[in-house]
Amino acid sequence: MSVQLNHTIIHSRDNRESAEFFTDLLGLEIAAEWGPFIAVALSNGVTLDFATIPPEHITPQHYAFLVSGAEFDAAYDKIRARGIRYWADPHQKQPDEINRNDGGKGVYFLDPSSHAMELITVPYGGWPQK
């Protein structure tokens, strides 16, 4: 078997709030609840397992998601409609803009626990996907 990422745990102030934010934004569903985790399954079989921990123990992380053009447009519409702050760049110097890197579209925003989320429609450098 080749090496594959199976799941990752995302620390959250409120696991339900974070999971629902993510599923609603991207049109996904909660896959399972087990112990302290609420899992959201991605199309490649990886799950994001949201866990509630004390806010002072959350270290903001970066999560980038490759989405289709239609998925990007739907999520971007929700970001704007909900007044979620967003940027074209990871350093938050280009507010209220998207980027067109590598001929696609990209946007950065924060989730309810201040993790930096990124949506892109084309992999960086056009790297091939397997």
Q: Hey, what are 52's tokens? A: 């509630």
Mean pLDDT, the chain, as a whole number?
95
Give the CATH number, domain containing residue 119.
3.10.180.10
Question: 3-state DSSP call for residue 31?
Answer: strand
2, part of any domain = no
C-alpha 28, offset from chain centre: 11
Q: Which of 71-75, 102-106, 124-128 has the lowest mean pLDDT?
A: 124-128
d(C-alpha 129, C-alpha 125), whole Å: 11
Query: What does the pLDDT average to over 70-97?
Result: 98
Q: Indicate the pTM of the whole model.
A: 0.92
31, part of any domain = yes
11, part of any domain = yes
130, part of any domain = no
Q: How many domains are contained in the chain?
A: 1
DSSP letters spanning 73-122: HHHHHHHHHTT--EESSTTS-SBT--B-GGGS-EEEEE-TT--EEEEESS
E-state strands within 56-115: 62-66, 86-87, 106-110
- Asked whether residue 51 carries a pLDDT value surpassing 80, the answer given is yes
Domain with 81, as residue range(s), is 7-125
12, part of any domain = yes
Indicate the pLDDT class of residue 30, thresholds 50, 70 and 90. Answer: very high
